[in-house]
């Protein structure tokens, strides 16, 4: 039973991490033309930082099984803002234009964001498939016991 729950924990950590990545990418796309934020200046592109962590086990597994440091789960450890220069466009009639008539826009590449979204979706789907495979194996094992 512990291998089943370990697989589910690891796959679910991947689901959570990819969901957070997709939310961040969606925010980037939604703010592609945002020239003013509460912090001041244009929106800054955000990206998540993944880190592998030892799989956290429950108390029963800690008591009955030796530790296995080779099992790693993924965790989002930070969301960083891009510090690239902004994209200045000459729009003198824009309310956020500076003295010279330039407006600072976020430096976000829509095609890059879409490619990142596809990659995150594929990672999410891979973890869903792993969970479904684990479930199917557990159901097969139950069928054998009948």
Q: Mind listing the pLDDT tens digit for each residue in 35-90?
A: 999 988 999 999 999 998 876 665 555 556 555 667 788 889 999 999 888 999 99
Helix (H) or strand (E) holding 89: strand 87-90
The number of folded domains in the chain is 1
**Averaged pLDDT, 113-122:** 96
Determine phi and psi for 26, rounding to 5 degrees.
Answer: -60, -40
pLDDT value at residue 66 = 59
Q: Which of 104, 119, 135 is nearest to 39 (CA)?
A: 104
Alpha carbon separation from 136 to 8, 16, 97 (Å, rounded): 12, 22, 59
pTM: 0.81
- The rounded distance, in Å, linking the Cα atoms of 2 and 66 is 12
Range of the domain at 21: 2-144
What is the largest distance, in Å, between two alpha-carbon atoms of the chain?
Answer: 79
More confident residue, 141 or 2: 141
- The rounded distance, in Å, linking the Cα atoms of 120 and 126 is 10
């Amino acid at each position: 039973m512990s291998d089943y729950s370990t697989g589910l924990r690891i796959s679910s950590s991947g689901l959570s991490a990819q969901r957070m990545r997709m939310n961040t990418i969606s925010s980037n796309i939604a703010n592609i033309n945002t020239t003013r934020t509460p912090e001041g200046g244009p929106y800054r592109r955000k990206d998540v930082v993944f880190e592998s962590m030892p799989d956290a086990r429950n108390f029963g597994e800690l008591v009955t099984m030796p530790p296995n440091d080779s099992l790693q789960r993924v965790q989002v450890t930070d969301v960083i803002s891009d510090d690239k220069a902004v994209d200045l466009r000459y729009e003198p009639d824009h309310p956020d234009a500076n003295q010279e008539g330039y407006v600072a826009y976020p430096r976000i590449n829509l095609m890059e964001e879409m490619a990142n979204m596809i990659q995150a979706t594929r990672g999410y789907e891979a973890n869903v498939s792993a969970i479904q495979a684990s479930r199917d194996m557990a159901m097969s094992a139950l069928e054998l016991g009948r």
